[in-house]
Structure 1
Amino acid sequence: ELVDEEDIFIVTNKEYKDLVYEQLPNIPMKNIILEPMSKNTAPCIGLATMYIKKKYEDAVMIVLPADHLIKYTELFIDTLREGIKVAEEDSNLVTIGIMPSYPETGYGYINFGTRKENQPGVYNVKHFVEKPNIEKAKDYLASGKYLWNSGIFIWKIYSILENFKNLLPQIYEDLIPIYESIGQLNEDEIVYYQFNKMRAVSIDYAIMEQAENIFTIPGNFGWDDVGSWLTLERINTTNESGNVVKGNVITIDTFNSIIQAEDKLIALVGIEDLIVVDTEDALLIVDKNKTQDIKKVVENLKICNRNQYL
């Protein structure tokens, strides 16, 4: 409803190219941009910007993480349209914040200040804050001055590249040969070589926390982050025991848990507040209050070179 399919670009790891195209066959193959390796969000967004700049020279970009659930799409699109208007003014960078409904410790937060003149739903950003502990998260919620950082950004190509040039000059210099190689025979080779040189850094830390002219628009369109297993509890109906159950599962005296199984039978007795996920080659069991520590398992698997489980 907002852009045509030929104006949608997807950035993914090179290993997922065929999978992405299989799931989104209407997106032109040339619009699937492949990262040679993971370098966090700043190099990723910089890479995408080069490809979009090659096609349009200057345009408004909307950066959307792939792991979001949007319940009210019309409200979402209206919010994006408002963000586009703000981004088209001067060199503004816009982020869509989410009105928090509970003290979440797994998200970063945006502290917003005064309203933008003549735009009542737009606020200047005072600062970004990292994922808080539970006490700080409660304070943020009570203050009414903090939003969840959704990772949704809107800006003009010129605006974001100026910030790369000023705040990430080395990455900016590494991006130039990529831009020049697009459409050439050595494109893949140049992208790999240049991208490999870039340091891994997030766009939030490197640019959004330091740039000027940053505004936020509070979003209230039924947003959720499906990157967390706890999301299943929020978006699915629980049974009479407070459980979310998927697959071949038997529960006895089991409460407030999330259980997902495949073909193998999973039986739980006397369990409370756990997440149990069984797949063909791995089993995950985690306390619901410790879901943010799942990343430690991922880190351990990488250290132990057990990448087949990732």
Structure 2
Amino acid sequence: MTAENPDPRIVSDFLDDLITVIPAGGVGSRLWPLSQPHRPKFLLDLLGTGATLIQDTVARVSPLSERVMIVTGERHADAVGAQVPAVPAANLVTEPSPRDSMAAIALAAALIEQRWGTAVMASFAADHLIPDGEAFRATVREAARVARDGKVVVIGIEPTEPSTAFGYIEMGDPLSGEAREVAAFTEKPDAETAAGMLARGGYAWNAGMFVMRTDVLLGHLDRLQPTLAAGVREIAAAWDGPERADVVARVWSTLTKIAIDHAIAEPVAAEGGVAVVPGSFEWHDVGDFDSLAELSGAAGGTVAIGRDLPVATVAARGPLVVGGTKPVVVVGVDDAVVVESDEAILVTVRSAAQRVKDAAAALADT
């Protein structure tokens, strides 16, 4: 079975006009030292399940669409290809350098049109955890239905708490089915603002999941970011031919470095062109060791991931210990986090998990 030659038992589940794009970028700096520039978060089996985050993502989307395309950095291409061999090599699109999410998604859209014509494109990050694949796919099918009519569709996640770690979507007037207009997007709020949003209702987390027709996306980009639009079209036209390397070397670095939220979602929402389909499925960003500990059940006792040696506690509760080649004892520290990789050892507590992003720089300064 491959992503373009699927198991015939699940062909009937495909959306014939849907192509899935998986942007696989970002290091995951809050998961240092597990996640490194040469070993980013999406290549890791964070929960010790035997599957990495990108493997889970491909498995989750494969029943939706016959074609799956992954956009990742050149340095990670071999590792991605080895982890998800069902995705054809031709559908592994490599970036010479990071240019943020808009360039990656726009290049995928331009390549889709170049190869297969206009299609509905669904973009999902490679490093999210969604345990209920069926509920996720049902939501994507509803989003694709709305996208066929020309809307840019974002899937909104039902909030479970007033989190300050995510952006928010303010849902407006009802459209057809489950879809609603997007009234506004809000960047990551402070705790008071987030609590107020949940109290008022009508808000969803923005998980960066977009579904739209390729011609709609590129049409908006032509208006709003014409240099970027022209650049990805030029690269896509050369991608499958002998001029690819020269064109990429000349054009890629000139593309505007901007996120899809700022380039498309926010301005198009202000014009009434963005819809949200609420998703009630369980979703996790696994953005730091606090969230990893919560997912692993550390609040109920000791959790050890990626290690066979013992972990003991003395007057301490809920430690998370990841990796390592020696026994570990945590004394007098609640919610401790101890992480060992080949490169370094991290010792922190869950309440300081967001500050881990500065750990690599602190080590470099010593």
The answer, yes or no, to whether TM exceeds 0.5 is yes
Q: CA deviation at 1:239?
A: 6.6
Q: 1:63 aligns with which of 120, 123, 131?
A: 123
Structure-1 residue corresponding to 2:26: none
Residue of 218, 222, 226 corresponding to 1:161: 218
**Structure 2 SS opposite 1:259:** strand
Q: What is the rounded CA distance, in whole Å, between the counterparts of 2:335 and 2:277 in structure 1?
A: 35
Deviation at 1:265, TM superposition (A): 3.1
2:54 is matched with: none
Indicate conservation of the 8 Å contact 1:8/1:31, yes or no: yes
Cα deviations by residue, 1:121-180 (Å, 9 ceiling, x for unpaired): 111111111111111121122221211101110000000001111111111122222022
Q: How does 1:1-310 map to 2 (within 5 A)?
A: 1-2=13-14, 7-89=67-149, 91-116=150-175, 118-119=176-177, 121-211=178-268, 212=271, 213-238=273-298, 240-241=300-301, 243-246=302-305, 247=307, 248=309, 249-297=311-359, 300=361
Alpha-carbon shift at residue 270 of structure 1 (Å): 0.8
- Mark the runs of 5 or more structure 2 residues left unpaired by the alignment: 1-12, 16-61
1:260 CA drift (Å): 1.2
* Aligned partners of 2:319 and 2:330 also within 8 Å: no
Contact 2:168 2:185 (C-alpha < 8 Å) held by counterparts: yes
**Structure 1 pair 274–166 and aligned structure 2 pair: CA distance change class (3 A):** farther
- Of 18-27 and 133-142, more deviation after overlay is shown by 133-142
Bigger Cα displacement from structure 2, 260-269 vs 121-130: 260-269
Superposition deviation, residue 305 in structure 1: 9.8
> By how many angstroms is 1:21 displaced?
1.1
RMSD: 2.2
Letter in 2 for 1:160: L
* Cα distance in 2 for residues equivalent to 1:294 and 1:282: 13
The whole-number CA distance in structure 2 between the counterparts of 1:207 and 1:279 is 39
Q: In the aligned structure 1, how far is the partner of 2:224 from the partner of 2:356?
A: 32
Distance 1:7 1:77, change over 3 A: same
Aligned equivalents of 1:49, 1:197: Cα separation in 2: 18
What is the distance in 1 between the residues matched to 2:158 and 2:331?
38
Deviation readout 1:247-284 (Å, 9 max, x if unpaired) = 23332222233221222333221112333211121122
The sequence identity of aligned pairs, in percent, is: 30
After TM superposition, the structure 1 stretch with the greater mean CA deviation from structure 2, 174-183 or 252-261, is 252-261
1:268 maps to a residue whose letter is: V
Tell me the TM-score normalised to structure 1 length.
Answer: 0.89
* Higher strand residue share: 1
Letter paired with 2:171: F
Residue 194 of structure 2 aligns to which amino acid in structure 1? Answer: A
Q: 1:21 to 1:86 in 2, by over 3 A?
A: same
- Distance in structure 2 (CA, Å) of the matches to 1:129 and 1:286: 31
Structure 1 spans left out of the alignment, 5+ residues: none
CA deviation profile, 1:35-73 (whole Å, cap 9, x unmatched): 111111011111111221112120000000011111211
Provide TM-score, normalisation by structure 2. 0.76
Q: CA deviation at 1:301?
A: 7.1
Q: Report the number of matched residues.
A: 300
Answer whether contact 1:111 1:128 (CA < 8 A) is retained.
Answer: yes
Structure 1 contact 232–244 (Cα < 8 Å) conserved: no
